[in-house]
Structure 1
């Protein structure tokens, strides 16, 4: 069963609240400014991302966004919605299928694929779409809190 969820009121789901099929999405617009800020943060100034004249002569026939910029939108879902606050990345696999360009809206969709209660690790299906077409896919493994911390008083 697939059930789309929103952010938990506490900011994050704990292990016992997760179930296979639980899904969350975030839509992020890819802008010139976002690409420039990602280049600055990652120190990746590959001209295929930054220089239209250079990029127009490549197989992509124009600038494309950094693949890891698009992947970071999935990380935002994992860190803020599903599982959310308190989850810690253990691993991530990714396969990129189509380029993302300035003006695209990326839908990052994260779904719970499996749960290991003993290790408190959860496998998450990570997909990205533009205009309904799969642009990237992969799997993340995250550690999820078993319980919430009591509020500080």
Structure 2
């Protein structure tokens, strides 16, 4: 799939038949304080380890950490927008949180096709999220029902969120 500026306006999926065992795709994102605050707002998870620096400095992590499920949400973003992309049905996910994610970390999500079930048209994906140092922060296995028909759809910008305390 091309990565030109024009193509960035479009999302194109990878169908079940196009997927191959061992095939993978990545998504990269740097975690900001605004991401953590917005995730707290939409999830309702206001744990002070994520939002209160004084409290977080006294924890075993010695500082504010991002929500573990923020990294999990990035896996979902990869599946829904790129690989396999539009039309994918997310059936299940097992996650293991390995190390904390801090504000400023650049996370790389990688999903790799582990298994294909030709009868049910389903796939199992190995998922790994690593930080900028190559250290795994999360790993897991996802079960998906990829699209069976090719789709190319115009990308829609996410709504902007204004955080007010």
Q: Tell me the TM-score normalised to structure 1 length.
A: 0.90
Q: Which residue of 1 aligns with 2:102?
A: 101
Q: CA separation of 1:114/1:31 partners in 2, compared to 1, >3 Å: closer, same or farther?
A: same
Task: Give me the whole-angstrom Cα distance separating, in 2, the residues matched to 1:98 and 1:132.
Answer: 12
Structure 1 residue 80, shift from structure 2 partner: 1.0
Given that 1:6 and 1:24 are in contact with CA atoms closer than 8 Å, whether structure 2 keeps it comes out as no
Q: Match of 2:142?
A: 140
| Long gaps (5+) in structure 1 | none
Q: Tell me, in whole angstroms, the C-alpha distance in 2 between the residues paired with 1:127 and 1:6.
A: 24
How many Å separate the matches in 1 of 2:126 and 2:50?
27
Residue 77 of structure 1 is matched in structure 2 by 78
Number of residue pairs matched by the alignment: 147
Contact 2:12–2:152 (8 Å) recurs in 1: no
Whether the 8 Å CA contact 1:94–1:138 is kept in 2: the answer is yes
Tell me how far 1:148 sits from its aligned partner.
Answer: 3.2
Cα deviation per residue 1:82-134 (whole Å; 9 max; x = unaligned)? Answer: 11110010000000110000010000111111111111111011100011011
What are the superposed Cα offsets for residues 42-99 of structure 1, whole Å, 9 maximum, x if unpaired? 0110000000000111100111000000111111111111111100100000001100
Instruction: Check whether the contact 1:6–1:81 (CA below 8 A) recurs between aligned residues.
Output: no
Show the counterpart of 2:161.
none
| Cα separation, 1, equivalents of 2:69 and 2:151 | 32
Provide the C-alpha distance between the structure 2 equivalents of 1:141 and 1:109, rounded to a whole number of angstroms.
15
- RMSD, aligned CA: 2.0
> Partner residue of 2:12?
11
**Structure-1 residue corresponding to 2:157:** none
Report what 2:159 is aligned to.
none
How far the C-alpha of 1:147 sits from its partner, in A, is 2.2
